[in-house]
A and B are shown apart, each in its own frame.
Chain A
Amino acid sequence: MTPTRATVLLVLAVAAQRTLPRLALWLSGLDFVLMAVVAVALRSGPGAGVVAGTVAGLVQDAFGTGLLGIGALGKTVAGFAAGAVAGQFMLGSPLAQLAIYLGASLIHGLIVAVFLGLTTDAASSVSVTLAVAEALGTAAAGVTCEQVAEWWRLTRLRRARQKGLPD
């Protein structure tokens, strides 16, 4: 993935995170920025995952009301982990992608919960069940996006071949 595409993806993710939950409340449980970070990491490696997690996380934190850096830290580590795992295994199947997204979401959630506990009393109100459910939702959404992206890539490729055949 080129840096431009990665940047566009991250900007779109931040924008989605800021707008979509206003349209539907259940969408507030999904972390679109994290999905974008993992997507970048899967395609460009752990270094890109770290950069993407840092930048996008800081931007997301800056728009939020919490402490600046907590979400970014979680996304940085999650992006690194996703990129590192992606470099070791073939991750073409949806199940493997689900595992990556779910692992990254859990790492992110754990780090955020720990630092919230260290810095504020907010951790006591965090429900483990809800956190896992949100992680599962984010992972499922991420895999869905991956599949959509793959379908879209294959469709474009097919159309390109169809256009090129008469030539």
Chain B
Amino acid sequence: MARVELLQRPLPLLGAAVLLHLSLISAQVTTSSGLPLLQAVAFGAVAEMQRLVMASGSVVVDAWRGYVALRGAHQDNERLRTEVQQLELRLQEERALAQQAAELRRLLELKTAAPVETTAADIIGASGTSGYRAILINKGRQDGIDADMAILSPTGVVGRVAQPGLHTSKVQLLTDRTAAIGAVIERSRAQGVVVGGGVQVLQMQYVSGLADVREGDVVVSSGIDGVYPPGFVIGSVELVDRGPVSYREIRIRPAVDVTQVGQVLVVTSPTRAPSESTGSTEP
């Protein structure tokens, strides 16, 4: 009975018979790769099926990525646009911080290079009347600030502490009409006194008419006044003229533009006059 049922299902019977014959043939021969034929054929068939599946799968994935997934592109664009705006804002903030850091770095470098002890302070205000120039810093007696302490900046001498408060101090600028600083021409070592002009200009006085002074010469502090440390830039010679007496009239352009400075250094250590600074270049 079972034999009759088996004969009435020819297709499974054919499949089984074909498989049997293929197995027999495969067991007797090997391919050039050394694999049995059936194994090679099966591997080739499976590999081809896998390739087809992968190919069709990649088509589906590409279609999904290229078309279907674009449904969320509008929301993504909006989100990215918002992120870009936030990042631009953040960039501006970072840029401002970077400028601040660079300025502080210059101050720190100056602090390291200066042979004096200093403390940094922020400029928090300015005051000025006719001929009188001053700024306000955020350090006072509470921070060890005292009167007649020199104020420096990375580009040169700013002024001195004129009136220290508890937490703030008023600084007299070099351009103040009543300010004075012992100075020396860096190239010729000609000495004199630089006084404020009330405007953005300085005058160097008491320089001998025989002194070698040229336009463009750099003027630095001499330290002889006991307030300002020696060797810091005051400005550069802008105009040299012979005065009515035996002294020259020298106009100096200040090295420091206070309007461009945000932080300053307050010299907290006593200023010592250099031993050689008293030497005159006059013959």
CB pair A47–B29 under 8 Å, yes or no, is no
Which listed segment binds A: B9-17, B64-72, B221-229, B242-250? B9-17
List CB contacts (< 8 Å) of A34-80 with chain B.
44-51, 53-54, 57, 67-70, 72-73, 76-77, 80
What is the chain B residue whose CB lies nearest that of A120? B29
CB pair A69–B9 under 8 Å, yes or no, is no
Cα distance, A99 to B139, chains bound together (Å): 117
A130 at the interface (CB under 8 A from B): no
Say how far A116's CB is from chain B's closest CB, in angstroms: 10
Question: Which of these, A69, A80, A118, contacts B14 with CB under 8 Å?
Answer: A80
CB pair B17–A76 under 8 Å, yes or no, is yes
With A54-B20, A67-B29, A68-B28 as contacts: A47 and B37 at CB distance below 8 Å: no
Question: Which of these, B6, B7, B14, B28, contacts A77 with CB under 8 Å?
Answer: B14
With A47-B7, A54-B21 as contacts: A67 and B28 at CB distance below 8 Å: yes
A119 at the interface (CB under 8 A from B): yes
What is the chain A residue whose CB lies nearest that of B29? A119
B18 at the interface (CB under 8 A from A): yes
**In the complex, which residues of chain B have a beta carbon less than 8 angstroms from the beta carbon of A84?**
10
List CB contacts (< 8 Å) of A105-129 with chain B.
115, 118-120
A83 at the interface (CB under 8 A from B): yes
- Of B8, B9, B13, B23, which is in contact with the most chain A CB atoms at under 10 Å from its CB? B13
CB pair A54–B17 under 8 Å, yes or no, is yes
Cα distance, A102 to B225, chains bound together (Å): 130
**In the complex, which residues of chain A have a beta carbon less than 8 angstroms from the beta carbon of B20?**
54, 69
- Of B8, B17, B20, B22, which is in contact with the most chain A CB atoms at under 10 Å from its CB? B17
* A contact patch SS: helix
* B contact patch SS: helix
**In the complex, which residues of chain A have a beta carbon less than 8 angstroms from the beta carbon of B8?**
45, 47
* Residue count of chain A within 8 Å CB distance of chain B: 26
CB pair B10–A46 under 8 Å, yes or no, is yes
Cα distance, A51 to B7, chains bound together (Å): 8
With A68-B28, A80-B14, A119-B29 as contacts: A48 and B21 at CB distance below 8 Å: no
Cα distance, A67 to B18, chains bound together (Å): 15
List CB contacts (< 8 Å) of B77-104 with chain A.
none
**In the complex, which residues of chain A have a beta carbon less than 8 angstroms from the beta carbon of B22?**
69, 73
Say how far B37's CB is from chain A's closest CB, in angstroms: 7
Cα distance, A44 to B8, chains bound together (Å): 10
**In the complex, which residues of chain A have a beta carbon less than 8 angstroms from the beta carbon of B7?**
44-45, 47-48, 51
CB pair A67–B25 under 8 Å, yes or no, is yes
List CB contacts (< 8 Å) of A4-54 with chain B.
44-51, 53-54
CB pair B24–A50 under 8 Å, yes or no, is no
Cα distance, A96 to B125, chains bound together (Å): 119
With A76-B14, A118-B37, A119-B37 as contacts: A47 and B9 at CB distance below 8 Å: yes
**In the complex, which residues of chain A have a beta carbon less than 8 angstroms from the beta carbon of B25?**
67-70, 73, 115, 119
**In the complex, which residues of chain A have a beta carbon less than 8 angstroms from the beta carbon of B24?**
67-69, 72
CB pair B13–A77 under 8 Å, yes or no, is no
**In the complex, which residues of chain A have a beta carbon less than 8 angstroms from the beta carbon of B29?**
67, 119-120
CB pair B13–A47 under 8 Å, yes or no, is yes
CB pair B21–A50 under 8 Å, yes or no, is no
CB pair B18–A76 under 8 Å, yes or no, is yes
Cα distance, A51 to B9, chains bound together (Å): 12
Cα distance, A92 to B109, chains bound together (Å): 116
Please name 26 pairs of A and B residues whose Cβ atoms are closer than 8 Å in the assembled complex, sorted by A. Answer: A45-B7, A45-B10, A47-B10, A49-B10, A50-B13, A50-B14, A50-B17, A67-B24, A67-B25, A68-B28, A69-B22, A69-B23, A69-B24, A72-B21, A73-B18, A73-B21, A73-B22, A73-B25, A76-B14, A76-B18, A76-B21, A77-B14, A80-B10, A84-B10, A115-B25, A119-B37
Chain A residues in the interface with B (C-beta under 8 A):
44-51, 53-54, 57, 67-70, 72-73, 76-77, 80, 83-84, 115, 118-120
Given contacts A51-B17, A57-B21, 17 further A-B contacts (CB under 8 A): A44-B7, A46-B14, A49-B10, A50-B13, A54-B17, A67-B25, A73-B18, A73-B22, A76-B14, A76-B21, A77-B14, A80-B10, A80-B14, A83-B10, A115-B25, A119-B25, A119-B28
